Amino acid sequence: MARTYKFKAEINKLLNLMINSLYSHKDIFLRELISNASDAIDKLKFKSIQDKSLIEDDPEFKIKIIPDKKNKTLTISDNGIGMDIDDIVKSLGTIAHSDTEEFLKILQNKNEVNIDLIGQFGVGFYSVFMVAKKVEVISRKAGLPENKAVRWESAGDGKFKVEEISKKSRGTDVIIYLNEEDEKYLEEFEIANIVKKYSDFIEYPIVLVKEDGKEEILNSMKAIWLKDKTEIKEDEYKEFYRHITHDIVGEPLKVIHFKVEGITEFSALLFIPSKAPFNIFFKDYKIGPALYVKKVQIMENCDELLPPYLRFVKGVVQCDDLPLNISRETLQINRQIQVIRKNIINKVLTTLKEMKENEFEKYEKFYNEFRKVLKEGIHLDFENNQKIAELLLFESTKTKKGEFTDLENYIKNMKSDQKEIYYITGNSREEIENSPYLEIFKEKDIEVLFMTDEIDDFIFTGFSYKEKPFKNILKGDISIDKESSENKDKAEKEYKDLLTYIKNTLRKEVEDVKFSNRLKDSPCCLVVGEFAPDPQTEKILKSIGQEIPEFKKTLELNPSHKLIEKMNNLYKNKEFDKLNEYINLLYDQALILEGEKPKNPSEFVKKFSKLLAEI
C-alpha cells in the first residue's frame, strides 16, 4: 500500500524556485541523472570488492536511456547499488545539507542561476522537475529480494508517494513524464548531443535504447586523465572540468595534467578554477580531488591529497598501486598517499609560480579570487611557506593603486641597513595610505606593504621571508635609524617629568606613555604590543563574539610636535586643569586616528571647541 509523504519545507521552496527560475540550461537534468546513476554503480562496484555475490546476476555495468514517444516518457536506468524504502525517503524527501537555506537565498536573489550551484549543494535530482510533470523512481537495492523493491512518485507538488513493489533486477529506473514543451528530449539526436557534451567521460557505457530495440553506446568512456596530453584538445579539458565541478558556464583558469613514474606511480588531472566557489570558506566545503584505483572511484573528495590552503584545486588522481579496499583511516598513514600529496603540492605551487612569471594577467585573476585561501599556507605549511610567500602580491607605499610588488622586489629595494619587512594593516588602501603610522617611513623613503585582508596580521605575525622578519608598524617598537632613536632619547630626558605626569593621568587607559620615532607630523598614536592583535583583527574577533584578553595600548607622542612643548610649559607653570584637558584630548585624538570613537564624544567636542576658542 502506498504511503504519502510531504516534502520537507526546504524541498518545496527548492522545487518552486528551480521550476520557475532555472528556465535555461534545461539539458542539465539529464547530466545530473546520468551522474547519479554513475555514482550508484561506483558504490556497488566498490562494495562488490568484498562481496562479489552482489553483482553475480548482472556483472556488466551500464546506464540505459530509454525514450518512449508513445507514452512521452524518458527513462534513465542503472544497475547500480539501488535503494530500499528508507534510502528513497531519505534521499528524495530531504536535502542533508546544513547550508540549503543559503542555496535558496541565492536562487531567490537571482533571475537566472549559475547552474554550478546545483552540484555544490547535491540537489541535482530535483532539476528533473524543470522538464517533468511527474517523476517515478523504481529501485531495488543490491542484495535484497525481488519483492523488496520500492516505487517513489511525485508531481513536484509538495508531496510524494512511496510503496513497496517487485522488481526483477537491482538498480534504479527514473521515469520522467515530460512536459509537452519538453518533448524534444525524446529525440535520439538530442539525447546523443547532451550525453556527448556533458557525460562523454563517464566510465560506464551510456546506452541509448532505440525504437527498434537496438542499443547504441553514446559515450567514449575514456578516462581522460590517463590519456597523453598531446591527444587531448582544449575543449575536452573544458568539458571534463565542467563534468567534475558542475560549473556549466565556467572554464578552468589553468589545467595541470601530469604523470609521475618511479617507486610510486600515479596520474593526475587537476584544474585551477577561474572563480572562487561562493562556499569556499564554509566549514563543510569539500576538499581534494577524486581518487581512483584501477578506474574505480575510491573517494569523491580525498582530502588527504591536498592541504586546506589548496582547496580551490579540483580534479582526479589515479594510483593503481593502492589496494582497492583502502579505507580513509589507512589513507592517513599510507606512505604512497604522502608521496602523492607532496608531488601534487609541489606541482601546483610550481604551476602558480610559472603563471606569475609568464602569464601575470592570468595570475592576477587567480590571485584576486584565491589569495585569502593561499595565504593560509603561510601559517599552515611550514615546509612550503617560503614558496607560498613568493607567490604573494602586495600594494605598497611605492606602488600605484591597482599595481603590485612582491617580496623579491621588496627585498631587492630595501635600504642597506633595513632588517625587517614593514607592513601596515587596514580595511582598504584608501584608509591606510595616509595613516600617521606611515609618516616616518615616507620621510625616510622606506617601503611599507599594505595588508587589507582580515587574516593578514594573524598570518604574518612571527613570519620571516629569507630571514627578514615581517613587522607590523602598528605594533611594538620601531627602530628605523640612528637619528630618530637619538631624537627620541633626547626628548625622554628633556620632558621626563611631563611624561611621568601623563602616564599617571592615563594609567587606567594605557599600558605606557612614551615618545615615538614613527611620527613626523601627527602629535600621537596608539600602539599595541608586538604579539597582541592589531586593531583590525581585534574588531573582527569581537564582531564574531570571540573573547580576547584585554591588551592595554601604549600612547606614543611625537617629540618634535609643538603641542609637547606647550604641554610642558603648562606642567612647569602648574596649570594642571588645562594640562589634563590637553592630555585627555590627545588620547581621544589617538583613538580617532586608530579608527575608534573618543571615550566620550560629546565631552571631546566641548573640550575641543573650548580650546579652539582660546586660540
What is the pLDDT confidence band of residue 450, given thresholds at 50, 70 and 90? very high
Would strands 149-154 and 252-260 be described as parallel, antiparallel, or unpaired?
unpaired
CA 416 vs CA 413, 421, 446, 478: distances in Å: 9, 13, 11, 17
Topology of domain 3-217, CATH: Heat Shock Protein 90 (3.30.565)
User: How much is the average pLDDT of 274-301?
Assistant: 86
User: How much is the average pLDDT of 70-80?
Assistant: 97
**What pLDDT, on the 0 to 100 scale, is given for residue 266?**
95
Give CB contacts under 8 A, 24+ apart, made by 198-203: 198/27, 198/28, 198/30, 198/31, 198/34, 198/239, 198/242, 198/243, 199/30, 199/31, 199/34, 199/35, 199/38, 199/243, 200/239, 201/239, 201/240, 201/243, 202/34, 202/35, 202/38, 202/63, 203/38, 203/295
- Alpha-carbon distance of 502 to 519, in angstroms, equals 18
| Radius of gyration (C-alpha) of the chain in whole angstroms | 33
**What pLDDT, on the 0 to 100 scale, is given for residue 263?**
86
Tell whether the model's pLDDT for residue 600 goes beyond 70.
Answer: yes
**What pLDDT, on the 0 to 100 scale, is given for residue 114?**
44
What is the pLDDT confidence band of residue 24, given thresholds at 50, 70 and 90? low
Encoded amino acid at 192, one letter = A
Class of the 395-614 domain? mainly alpha
Take residue 226 and report the three cell numbers written for it.
Answer: 590517463
The helix/strand/coil state of 465 is strand
Tell whether the model's pLDDT for residue 583 goes beyond 80.
Answer: yes
CA 361 vs CA 88, 223, 403: distances in Å: 49, 32, 11
**What pLDDT, on the 0 to 100 scale, is given for residue 119?**
40
| Range with top average pLDDT, 252-256, 300-304, 512-516 | 252-256
Q: Specify the higher pLDDT residue, 545 or 504.
A: 504
What is the pLDDT confidence band of residue 94, given thresholds at 50, 70 and 90? low
Q: In 530-575, which ranges are continuous DSSP H helix?
A: 535-543, 562-572
The helix/strand/coil state of 217 is strand
Tell which residue, 134, 97, 124, has the closest CA to residue 33: 124
Question: What is the greatest pairwise CA distance in the chain?
Answer: 111
Tell which residue, 271, 257, 272, 267, has the closest CA to residue 295: 267
Q: Specify the higher pLDDT residue, 343 or 235.
A: 343
**What pLDDT, on the 0 to 100 scale, is given for residue 543?**
66
**What pLDDT, on the 0 to 100 scale, is given for residue 108?**
56
Lowest mean pLDDT among 81-85, 170-174, 217-221: 217-221
Q: Hey, how many other C-beta atoms are within 10 angstroms of the C-beta on 268?
A: 23
**What pLDDT, on the 0 to 100 scale, is given for residue 115?**
42
What is the pLDDT confidence band of residue 470, given thresholds at 50, 70 and 90? very high
Domain boundaries, the chain: 3-217, 224-368, 395-614
Tell whether the model's pLDDT for residue 7 goes beyond 80.
Answer: no
What is the pLDDT confidence band of residue 613, given thresholds at 50, 70 and 90? low
User: How much is the average pLDDT of 554-566?
Assistant: 91
State phi, psi for 288 to the nearest 5 degrees.
105, 150
> Which positions ≥6 away from 340 have C-beta within 8 Å?
260, 264, 266, 268, 305, 317, 319
The helix/strand/coil state of 521 is coil
What is the pLDDT confidence band of residue 332, given thresholds at 50, 70 and 90? confident
User: How much is the average pLDDT of 64-82?
Assistant: 97
| Range with top average pLDDT, 91-100, 482-491, 602-611 | 482-491
Q: Specify the higher pLDDT residue, 486 or 270.
A: 270
Mean pLDDT score across all residues of the chain = 87
State phi, psi for 416 to the nearest 5 degrees.
-60, -30
- Alpha-carbon distance of 407 to 605, in angstroms, equals 44
| Residue 252 burial (10 A CB sphere; 0-12, 13-18, 19+) | buried
Q: Tens digit of pLDDT for each residue in 512-544?
A: 999 988 888 889 999 988 877 777 777 777 666
Tell whether the model's pLDDT for residue 101 goes beyond 90.
Answer: no
**What pLDDT, on the 0 to 100 scale, is given for residue 20?**
61
Tell whether the model's pLDDT for residue 250 goes beyond 70.
Answer: yes
Tell whether the model's pLDDT for residue 85 goes beyond 80.
Answer: yes
In b/e form, how buried is each residue of 64-95, taking b as 16+ CB within 10 angstroms? bbbbeeeebbbbbbbbbbbbbbeebbebbbeb
Q: Hey, how many other C-beta atoms are within 10 angstroms of the C-beta on 324?
A: 13
Q: 131 - beta bridge partners? A: none
Q: Hey, how many other C-beta atoms are within 10 angstroms of the C-beta on 377?
A: 23
**What pLDDT, on the 0 to 100 scale, is given for residue 293?**
83
Same CATH fold, 395-614 and 3-217? no
Tell whether the model's pLDDT for residue 603 goes beyond 70.
Answer: yes
**What pLDDT, on the 0 to 100 scale, is given for residue 531?**
77
φ/ψ region of 520 (left if φ > 0, alpha if ψ in -120 to 50, else beta) reads alpha
Query: Cell 551510456 identifies what position?
Result: 206
Q: Which helix (H) or strand (E) covers residue 86, if one does?
A: helix 85-93
User: How much is the average pLDDT of 232-244?
Assistant: 88
Tell whether the model's pLDDT for residue 175 goes beyond 50.
Answer: yes
Q: Tens digit of pLDDT for each residue in 383-394?
A: 999 999 999 999
**What pLDDT, on the 0 to 100 scale, is given for residue 485?**
77
Take residue 341 and report the three cell numbers written for it.
Answer: 600529496
CATH number for the domain running over 224-368:
3.30.230.80
What is the pLDDT confidence band of residue 104, given thresholds at 50, 70 and 90? low
User: How much is the average pLDDT of 411-433?
Assistant: 92
Q: Tens digit of pLDDT for each residue in 356-375?
A: 999 999 999 999 999 999 99
Tell whether the model's pLDDT for residue 154 goes beyond 80.
Answer: yes
Tell whether the model's pLDDT for residue 463 goes beyond 90.
Answer: yes
- Alpha-carbon distance of 101 to 282, in angstroms, equals 13
As a whole-number percent, the residues of the chain with pLDDT over 90 amount to: 55
